[in-house]
Amino acid sequence: MTAASLRPGLPMLTILRRNRRLLDRALRVAFVVVLVLFTIFRPVPAGDAHAYWVVDLANPYTRPIATTDAFTYPPPAALFFSVLGHLPFPVFEAIWTLLIGFALLWLTGPFALLFLVIPVVASDLYLGNIHVLLGAAVVGSLRRPGLWAIPLLTKPTVGVGLLWFVARGEWRRLATAIGVTAVISVIAFVLAPGLWKAWIDYVLATGVSPDVGSAYWVPIPLLVRLPAAALVVIWGARTNRPWTLPVAAMLGLPVLWLVGLAMLTAAFAVSAWSPLRTQAQAWAAQRRP
C-alpha cells in the first residue's frame, strides 16, 4: 500500500489546484479580451493620454493644471512623449491603453477584471493617466530600483518612497535609483536645457496648493500628506511590509486626484492576496547595503 493511497484527500487537492490554475488563466485571458475590445472600441478619446501626446517642446508648460491638455511633468517626460507624439494619436492611444492594462494585469493577476469595476481604476484606464503605471514601477523597484526614475521624472514628490531604502540601509539600491534618475535628467538637460527653467518656473507659479477647478481630487494638502507618507513608508520598511511603499507613494502625489487612488492596486500587488506576494516578499527581504 502506497503513501498516496493512505491519503484519499490528495487527488482532490491536486484537482482543486489544477482547477484553480485553469480558472486563473481563464480570468487573465478574459481580462485581455476585455482590454483589447475596449482599446478597439473606446467610446471617447483618452483625455489625459492626449495631453501627453500633444506636448509641444517649444513651450510645453503653458496650460494651467487641471485644464485640457495641461502638461505638468518634468522635461525628461516631455522629451519622451514628444517622440511618441510623432505617432498618429489613435496608435499612441491604443499602445498607451494596452500598456496600462497589462500593468494592471501584472499587479492584480486574475483579479484584474474585478479591479475594473472600481471606478478610480477604470477611470485611470479610461482617461489614459499614469497612476497604475506608477504603481507598477514602485512595485518593480523592489527588485529593480532604477525603475524609480519613472515616478521621480513624472511626479517627483512620490519620491518620498525612497525612504524605504534609507530606513533599511539599502544604500546601493538608493544610489541606483537616484543615479539612473540623474543620468536621464542630465541627458534631458543636454538635449533641451531651457526646459528645466521653464518647468521650475511653472511649478513655482502653480504652488503647493494649485487651483484644480472642478476636477475630482482628495482635498488634503501635500504638506500634510508628505509627513504621513514618510511615517508610513519608514514603518513599513522597518517591519518588512512592502504594501506600505505604494501607499506612501500615493500619499506623496503632488495633487491627490481621485483617480490617483488607482495606485492602491500596487498595494494589493504586494499583499497576502496577490499572485505577486511571494516574489514581492522575496524582493523586499533581500536587504542589500
pTM across the whole model: 0.89
Residue 95 has pLDDT above 70, yes or no: yes
The pLDDT value recorded for residue 209 is: 64
Domain membership of residue 5 (yes or no) is: no
Domain membership of residue 78 (yes or no) is: yes
Domain count for the chain, please give it.
Answer: 1
Residue 110 has pLDDT above 60, yes or no: yes
Tens of pLDDT along 270-288? 887 777 767 766 666 665 5
Domain membership of residue 193 (yes or no) is: yes
Domain membership of residue 186 (yes or no) is: yes
The pLDDT value recorded for residue 66 is: 80
Range of 279's domain? 10-208+215-285
Domain membership of residue 131 (yes or no) is: yes
**Three-state helix/strand/coil letters over the chain:** CCCCCCCCHHHHHHHHHHHHHHHHHHHHHHHHHHHHHHHHCCCCCCHHHHHHHCCCCCCCCCCCCCCCCCCCCCHHHHHHHHHHCCCCHHHHHHHHHHHHHHHHHHHHHHHHHHHCCCHHHHHHHHHCCCHHHHHHHHHHCCCCHHHHHHHHCCCHHHHHHHHHHHHHCCHHHHHHHHHHHHHHHHHHHHHCHHHHHHHHHHHHHHCCCCCCCCCCECCCCHHHHHHHHHHHHHHHHHCCCCCHHHHHHHHCCCCCEHHHHHHHHHHHHCCCCCCCHHHHHHHHHCCCC
Domain membership of residue 243 (yes or no) is: yes
Tens of pLDDT along 120-132? 999 999 999 999 9
Domain membership of residue 3 (yes or no) is: no
Domain membership of residue 15 (yes or no) is: yes
Tens of pLDDT along 202-218? 998 876 667 666 567 78
